[in-house]
Structure 1
């Protein structure tokens, strides 16, 4: 399988806002369906953008997700910044790029860098994004006048954590 260069989509789906929230997310959640159309949601720790309309996800230990994608490539990926209480849902079609594909190392460079020596990247899940939707915590609707900083302070208190650097305060 030949892996294409990152695309310049007619309409950039991975906007600056999406990329910022993606960068702050610790996990993303990959939703697939099995042969009986039963949903499966699986946390993914290693992921990165690729071009304007692709998200790459490392297959580290996901036999169920891999089987489901082979049967039905329609997927949904969601991620949130738990402290800012917002994120995105990315809907698209997934293909699996096997580790032995000729361009795998080039394509998966970002995944391999993030994985380091700790995580074995068996394949890359290539999600061509078709639609992007914002995810907001209910508090955005209930308390629209709260600032992002107020939301973050509330989340820090609720989770019993403190920011480790000044950058995490805003």
Structure 2
């Protein structure tokens, strides 16, 4: 996960699920996000007009963070708030996001999720092959994606 996380997994993208005023769902990837406390995740609105519009109509959201190589992650549920640049807390909430972008992308708003519930996400292989180690499952994922881990 991005800056500020204590999670063992390393999610590169998170997936933000919202619902519009007509109850039509929308899921979109977000790559600039940070957990800034036990109960808050902030996401940069760089090109998220639909997500922002949906949250203004219905603030209930769900975010999935998955490490594709470990095939596990977390689902975060709660209420989101759109923080505009003129909001008194914008600079503080945007700081970890600005640090991640290096100023390369304008952050139009901060989507601030107040996390009400966190649930683990596990690939079915964790449940259906409990005798296999995490290392074996991870090796399978590397093979599936045709990549090798970086040796440090």
What is the TM-score normalised by the length of structure 1?
Answer: 0.83
Corresponding residue for residue 50 of structure 1: 36
Verify: 1:91 aligned to 2:68, yes or no: no
RMSD: 1.5
Question: Equivalent residue for 2:8?
Answer: 20
Q: Structure 1, residues 113-164: CA drift from partner, whole Å, max 9, x if none?
A: 0111322211100000001111100100111111111111111111100112
Q: 1:130 aligns with which of 116, 124, 137?
A: 116
1:115·1:121 contact (CA, 8 Å) conserved in 2? no
Which deviates further from its counterpart, 145-154 or 99-108? 99-108
Of residues 135, 138, 142 in structure 1, which corresponds to 2:128? 142
What residue number does 2:58 align with? Answer: 72
SS at 2:55 equivalent:
helix
Unpaired stretches in structure 1, ≥5 consecutive residues: 1-13
1:59 aligns with 2:45: yes
Q: CA offset at residue 15 of structure 1?
A: 8.4
What is the alpha-carbon distance in structure 1 between the residues aligned to residue 100 and residue 5 of structure 2?
Answer: 21
Query: Which of 134, 147, 158 is the matching residue for 2:144?
Result: 158
CA distance in 1 between counterparts of 2:57 and 2:81 reads 11
In the alignment, structure 2 segments of 5+ residues that lack a partner are none
Structure 2: how far apart are the matches of 1:20 and 1:105? 28
The count of aligned residue pairs is 149
Q: Structure 1 residues 152, 27: CA separation in 2 closer, same or farther (over 3 Å shift)?
A: same
Q: Which structure has greater helix proportion?
A: 1
Conserved? CA contact 2:5–2:34, under 8 Å:
no
Give distance in 1, aligned partners of 2:93 and 2:104: 19
**Relative to structure 1, is the Cα distance of residues 81 and 111 closer, same or farther in structure 2, using a 3 angstrom cutoff?**
same
